[in-house]
């Protein structure tokens, strides 16, 4: 399963981003998405929680075309990068990131 501790190794390609929420007082950010965490399995509703957030950038310019799907993710120092298939990059500067699965059996793989 792609939910280990290494952010860059999580299976987020083709995940469907539902929402991005910043919790100001607690300095945390939660991304809710449906991700295909296991190969050839249905999507699972999950959340990525970032703690110790000091910066959040969420451009929605769609330079490549409109899309709600994740292309991939990486880490640049303390900045977590979610590249969308739209060409936008969501940047979250934070201390930690954790992924939790909310439910099993979401959308089916194509």
| Contact between 15 and 70 (Cβ < 8 Å) | yes
Tokens found for residue 51? 């703690």
Q: How far apart are the first and last CA of the chain?
A: 19
Helix (H) or strand (E) holding 94: none
Does 108 fall in a domain? no
Domain containing 69 equals 7-103
> What pTM was estimated for this model as a whole?
0.87
For the chain, how many residues are written?
110
pLDDT in tens, the chain (110 residues): 445 579 999 999 999 999 999 999 999 999 999 999 988 888 999 999 999 999 999 999 999 999 999 999 999 999 999 999 999 999 999 999 999 998 655 555 44
Does 90 fall in a domain? yes
Per-residue confidence (pLDDT) for residue 23, from 0 to 100: 97
Does 25 fall in a domain? yes
Per-residue confidence (pLDDT) for residue 105, from 0 to 100: 53
Does 52 fall in a domain? yes
Number of domains forming the structure of the chain: 1
Does 109 fall in a domain? no
């Amino acid at each position: 399963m792609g939910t280990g501790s290494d952010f860059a190794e999580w299976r987020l390609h083709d995940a469907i981003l539902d929402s991005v929420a910043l919790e100001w007082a607690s300095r945390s950010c939660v991304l809710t998405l449906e991700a295909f965490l296991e190969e050839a399995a249905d999507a699972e509703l999950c959340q990525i929680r970032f703690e110790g957030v000091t910066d959040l950038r969420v451009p929605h310019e769609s330079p490549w075309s409109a899309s709600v799907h994740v292309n991939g993710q990486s880490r640049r120092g303390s900045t977590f990068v979610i590249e969308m298939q739209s060409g936008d990059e969501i940047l979250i500067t934070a201390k930690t990131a954790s992924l939790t699965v909310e439910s099993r059996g979401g959308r089916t793989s194509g």
